[in-house]
Amino acid sequence: MTGSTGQIGSRVARLISTRGVPQRLLIREPTRLQEYDGATVVAVPGGYADVDGMRAALDGIDTLFLVSANAGPERVAEHASAIGAARAAGVSHVVYLSFLGASAIATFSYARDHWATEQQVRASGMAFTFLRDSFYHPLLPSMAGPDGVIRGPAENGRIVTVSPGDVAEVAAVIALDPEPHNGVTYELTGPAPFTLEDAADVLAVASGRPIRYERETLAEAYASRAQYDAPRAVLDAWVTTYTAIAAGELDVVSTEVEAITGHRAETLENWLRRHPESYRHLLLD
């Protein structure tokens, strides 16, 4: 599996390790990895773009859990390189961490990258399972600035964020026994939709201070984010996160987490209770 130094991958690696199943972790910087019982670490410093390094690291592997690369202009090409390496190494099944509503015409710009990658996996001829997860619960506290305001052009649209732990559990179940999930695309969401106004209320209860949602026009959204001096593609991703909510493309409640893990998907409220560090920037002295 890849991505085990990250939020989702580290949880998947831990779950597989506690099941006592051997796994091979492909990572760019081995010094950053915690130890997992039964895991072999293989360094691929060049990451997905290093097709020879990836192919050698995947030698003898049947199932690959492929975490999507950091966003950037090379992301789709990096995924193509990793998929080509997996195929050349003889991998039979790829479990790809995609995104909810992946489509060539998705409003959220990065969802188009995920769609392109899904097409590459399909074209490779390998068996596959796509995990189209929604935004993770921690996105919501991060949307609120220290002034306690969530700003964006989301109108009154709804979103159904999901617990990273639930996504990891689903990924581990499938990675450990992929065959029943061959050719299946799963949408992974939390249990309940909410508007950003609702989310502000939930954050206000958690943090004990007023939090509110302020609607922006598209032009206001780009203007208020200009101070970060981010590349245009990053700005587009930030802004289309909100316009995708406005368009209703993230207003999806799926029951797949419960069907696969056997327990209900974790609510945002519960996740915040367990992760007060996620809204530390909102706490008043």
SS3 94: strand
Does position 48 bind ligand NAP by CB under 6 A?
yes
Does position 256 bind ligand NAP by CB under 6 A?
no
Decide whether 2 or 107 has the Cβ nearer to ligand NAP.
2
Does position 6 bind ligand NAP by CB under 6 A?
yes
Does position 78 bind ligand NAP by CB under 6 A?
yes
The structure tokens 């996996």 sit at: 121
The structure tokens 């649209």 sit at: 157
Decide whether 30 or 208 has the Cβ nearer to ligand NAP.
30
What number of chain residues touch ligand NAP (CB under 6 A)?
A: 23
Q: Are 53 and 86 a contacting pair, CB within 8 Å?
A: no
CA 80 – CA 274 distance, rounded (Å): 37
Decide whether 185 or 220 has the Cβ nearer to ligand NAP.
185
Contact segment (CB under 6 A) with ligand NAP among 65-73, 171-179, 217-225, 256-264 equals 65-73
Closest separation between CB of residue 195 and ligand NAP, Å?
18
Burial class (CB in 10 A: 0-12, 13-18, 19+), 225: middle
Count of helix runs (H) and strand runs (E) in the chain: 11, 10
CA 272 – CA 15 distance, rounded (Å): 22
Does position 266 bind ligand NAP by CB under 6 A?
no
Contact segment (CB under 6 A) with ligand NAP among 132-140, 191-199, 249-257, 261-269 equals 132-140
Q: 99: phi > 0 → left, psi -120 to 50 → alpha, else beta; which? A: beta
Among 18, 21, 22, 29, binds ligand NAP (CB under 6 A): 29
Contacts of residue 41, Cβ cutoff 8 Å, sequence gap at least 6: 24, 25, 27, 30, 33
Where along the sequence are the contacts to ligand NAP (CB under 6 A)? Answer: 2-3, 5-9, 28-29, 32, 47-48, 67-70, 78, 97, 99, 133, 135-136, 139
